[in-house]
Amino acid sequence: MTRSRHLPSGAGCPAALLGLGGLATFALLLEVLPRAGVLPADYFPPASRIALALLDEFGQPAFREALGDTLLTWVTSLAIAVGAGIAVGVAIGSTPLVRDLTASTIEFLRPIPSVALIPGLIVLLGTGMESTLVIAVYASFWQVLVQVLYGVADVDPVARETAHSYRLKARHRIRYVVWPTTLPYVMTGIRLAAAVALILTITGELVIGTPGLGKKIDVAYSSGDVPSMYALIAVTGLIGVLANVVTRRAERWALVWHPSVRGESPA
């Protein structure tokens, strides 16, 4: 262990290159395992065949339409979940009594699997975007809310008391005391919520039949088109990778001052 903060190991190797290396290693593994017979190739085709099916999909307008549908549902659900999660979290978390009053209900509602809501949703809203949106918002909302609640609870008691002594207005207390401590938690919450919202968007499309990548996965699956199915699954994985890059950038930008980021910002 001769690591130094001033000369991070691997500094000469750009981050993106390392990440691509990781993905390439993973793809190689997926090529070798089916070919070596560890995974049955009939039902789990090697990566190269999945890649061919993927190229084929990219050429089709139906695929681009499905991709657009999925992205729209995902971004919309994430925006609603993050907005509502922060607002409700700060409101509940700032007052111990309200926090205590709602704790049991939150714990009750949170684990109710959004998949259990599906039959009701189809009846109420049909199989359009709204049903999938509700499921994605429902699941990702709790991710943000819980992180915000933890963040608000993590506010340094001394700082809180100080703000109290100086009789800061609620608005200012949130802005200058609660928010800086909560922000790292919020950013983690957004990153988690982005993934959860994506997973639930695809799952909703898969299980409900809302137009989008998930529905295409289901059609390929129920048609026995295995390579296309994995190609479409790979697309959802790639969206996940991109989402992480974007949320990481946002996190870095928002948390320049925090130790978790400070240690690594290039000088």
Partner 1 sequence: MIRRFTAVLAGAAMLLSAAACGAKETPPSTPGTPDKVTAGVVAIVDVAPIYLGKQKGFFTEQNIDLTLQTAQGGAAVVPAVAAGTYQFGFSNSISVLVAHTNGVPIKAIASGNGTTGNATADFSGLVVKDPAITSPKALVGKKVATNTLKNIVDTSIKELVKRDGGDPAAVSLVELAFPDMVGALDTNKVDAIFVVEPFLSAAKAKGWKVIGSFAALDPAMCVALYVTSQALAQSNPDLVARFTTAMKKSLAYAESHPDEVRAILGSYTQIAENVRQGMTLPKWPADINRASLDKLADLIVANGLTSKKPDVAAVVS
Partner 2 sequence: MTSALRRAAVFFALPITLLAIWWFASAGSTDFLMPPLAKILEVFPETWSRHRLTHDVAPSLIRLAVGFAGALLIGIGAGVVIGSSRVVRLFAEPVLEFLRAIPPPALVPIFILVAGIDNVMKVLVIISGCVWPIVLNTVEGVRGADPVLAETCRSYRIGEMLRLRMFVLRSASPQIVTGARQALSIGIILMVISEMKAASEGLGFTIREFQTGYQFPQMWSGVLLLGLIGVVLSLLFRVAENRVLVWYHGQRAAARVSR
Residues in 40-79 at the binding interface with partner 1, rule: CB under 8 A: 40, 42-43
Nearer to partner 1, 21 or 120 (CB): 120
Tell me the C-alpha distance between 236 and 194, whole Å.
13
Nearer to partner 1, 27 or 88 (CB): 88
- Write out the binding residues for partner 2, residues 21-50 only, by CB under 8 A: 21-23, 25-26, 39-40, 43-44
Rounded to a whole number of angstroms, the minimum distance from the CB of residue 16 to partner 2 is: 8
> Mapping DSSP to helix (H, G, I), strand (E, B) and coil, where does residue 110 land?
coil
User: In this chain, which of 46, 85, 89, 184 binds partner 2, going by CB under 8 A?
Assistant: 184
- Give CA torsion, residues 129, 130, 135, 138, to 10 deg: 140
Residue with tokens 């005391």: 177
Instruction: Indicate which of partner 1, partner 2, none lies near residue 121 (CB less than 5 to 8 Å, by partner kind).
Output: partner 1
Cβ neighbour number for residue 118 with a 10 Å cutoff: 18
> Residues 174, 217: contact at Cβ < 8 Å?
no
Least separation in angstroms between residue 241's CB and partner 2 is 5
Distance CA 188, CA 154 (A): 14
User: Contact letters (x/-) for partner 1, 206-235, by CB under 8 A?
Assistant: xxxx-----x--xxxxxxxx--x-------
223 binds partner 2 (CB under 8 A): no
Burial 155-169 (b: 16+ CB within 10 A, else e): beeeebeebeeeeee
Place of tokens 């870095």: 252
34 token code pair: 């089916």
Task: Identify which range of 7-15, 136-144, 146-154, 189-197 contacts partner 1 by CB under 8 A.
Answer: 136-144
One of 140, 188, 210, 228 touching partner 2 (CB under 8 A): 188
Q: How many other CB atoms sit within 10 Å of the CB of residue 262? A: 11
Amino acid at 128: G
Residues 71-130 contacting partner 2, CB under 8 A:
97, 100-105, 107-116, 119-120, 123
Residue numbers of the site for partner 1 (CB under 8 A)? Answer: 40, 42-43, 84, 87-88, 91-92, 94-95, 98, 102, 117-128, 134, 137-138, 141, 206-209, 215, 218-225, 228
